[in-house]
Every structure is written in C-alpha cells, then in structure tokens.
Amino acid sequence: MTTTDLPEGALVPFTVYIDFESGDLTPDPVVLRRGLADLAGYFLSDVETATPADGDMYSVHEIRVPATNNNLLSSTTVLQPGKVGDEYFMTKGHFHATRDRAEIYLTLSGQGLLVMALEDGTTETKEMRPGIVNYVPGHWAHRSVNTGDEPLVFYAVYIGDAGYDYATIAEQGFPVIVVEGERGPEIVANPRYRRA
Ligand code: PAN
Ligand code: ZN
C-alpha cells in the first residue's frame, strides 16, 4: 500500500515492542531524559541532597504519531528509585494543556503512587503496580512517584493533542507530597502548595 491510498489523517499500521522490565521500546526514539537538575525546586529539600546522587531521575520513550486529536500518543516512563530528603523520586507532573484530555497509565514493573489533583486542590492518590490501570480523567494534574527499590515503569496512552502545562505545577506544586515514613510511604499535605 502506498501512502496515497490512505484516507486523510490515517497512518500505516505499525508495531512496537515494549520490554516491561526496562521500559525500552524497539524501535526506541527516547524523547526525554530528566535528571535531578531538571527537578530543582520541585522537592522540599535541595536536589543536591538526593540519594542516589548520580543525576538521573527518569526517561520517557515515546511511540510517535502526529499530536492531533485523532491519534493516540503513548509512551513508557522509567522512573528511578531514590529520594530527595524524605520525598521519593517523582515526575514533574502536569495538567494537560488541553485540560479535558484524559489519559491511561498501565504499570509494567516496580511500584509507586499516582498523585492527581484538580485546580481547586481536590486530590486523589492511587496505587501503581504491575497490571494496574490508572484512569486519569481530563482536568486532573498527574504525577507518578516511585515508592519502591526498583525502577517504576509504566505505559501511558493519551489523546494526541493533550499537550503539557508544566507551569501551573511548577508554580503551585501539588496539594500533597509522598514521603518515606516509619512504616513506608505516607501522603502528607504539601506545606508549599499554593492555590491559584
Ligand atoms: C506521561 C508523562 C511522563 C513524564 O507520559 O509525561 O510520565 O512526566 P512529566 O511529563 O510530568 O515530566 C504523561 O502523563 N503524558 O501525558
Ligand atoms: Zn499526562
């Protein structure tokens, strides 16, 4: 089939392999790597106090299609284990730029928590472990947190034109943070949270 046979907006079907342990794709255009320096200001403690301190925090591997609302974008995220102060390594977190766009997370390996929040400060936190599907409806900001000792690997599927609004979270934070307590992960109020 030549591309001239395709209806407008259609793509040629394709296949991608995901390694559930590593999160690697084949083929694998890694689109994003974020290190401690990129997360400066996101934790209560200085990122220079992180353990481990080697600088890597997470990578995103995207199955690329045009970012339009007739397509489903998807990616694996590989979030390393570690802590900054008492807070576990986590993603920046974002609202979708197009607020009502939903997303699905399927955890492939590791364990963690998915923290979600509405703009009014309402919060929901859900477990992430292999086999769990987390449905993130539109309007909920979302951040994943690795509460385990292994990389947290998950596959995310989202409407192509969802886009990213990082600025709101960068300025306000999430209403809650996830810290290591005496008996494991604890979800506590974020003393630095500022509502718009
Ligand atoms: C995910 C995230 C990914 C990295 O693919 O983009 O886990 O997190 P940050 O984008 O918050 O740094 C997703 O939610 N896409 O919409
Ligand atoms: Zn998202």
Evaluate: CB of 157 within 6 angstroms of ligand 1. Answer: no
Output the pLDDT for position 28. 80
Q: Is residue 136 part of a domain?
A: yes
Confidence of residue 1 (pLDDT cuts 50, 70, 90): low
105 lines ligand 1 (CB under 6 A): no
What is the reported pLDDT for 31?
Answer: 76
Q: Which atom of ligand 1 is nearest to the CA of 158?
A: 16
Q: Is 103 in the pocket of ligand 1 (CB under 6 A)?
A: yes
The answer to whether residue 169 is domain-embedded is yes
Q: Whose alpha carbon is nearest atom 8 of ligand 1?
A: 91
**Token pair of 151, please?**
């990389």
pLDDT in tens, 146-186: 999 999 999 999 999 999 999 999 999 999 999 999 999 99
> How far is 166 from 192, CA to CA, in rounded Å?
17
Ligand whose nearest atom lies closest to the CA of 60 = 1
Q: Say if 54 falls within a structural domain.
A: yes
CA 157 to ligand 2 center in whole angstroms: 9
Residue 177, domain extent: 15-189
Provide mean pLDDT across the span 61-90: 97
Report the chain's mean pLDDT, rounded to a whole number.
95
In a domain, 21, yes or no: yes
Closest CA to 80 of 49, 109, 44: 109
Q: Which atom of ligand 1 is nearest to the CA of 164?
A: 16
Q: How confident is the model at residue 85 (pLDDT cuts 50, 70, 90)?
A: very high
Lookup: tokens for 120: 């009014």
Q: 117 in a domain, yes or no?
A: yes
- The ligand 1 atom nearest the CA atom of 34: 12
| pLDDT level of residue 30 (50, 70, 90 thresholds) | confident
Q: Is residue 6 part of a domain?
A: no
9 within a domain of the structure (yes/no): no
Question: pTM for the complete prediction?
Answer: 0.96
Which tens digits make up the pLDDT trace of 123-135?
A: 999 999 999 999 9
| 78 within some domain | yes
For the chain, give percent helix, strand, coil, nearest 5. 10, 45, 50
Number of domains in the chain: 1
CATH code: domain of residue 128: 2.60.120.10
Q: For ligand 2, a single-atom ion, which residues have Cβ within 5 Å?
A: 103
Q: List pLDDT tens digits, range 58-67.
A: 999 999 999 9
**Mean pLDDT score, 59-79:** 96
What pLDDT sits at residue 134? 98
Q: What angle do CA 137, 141, 144 make, to 5 degrees?
A: 100
Residue 11: exposed, middle, or buried by beta-carbon count in 10 A (0-12, 13-18, 19+)?
Answer: exposed
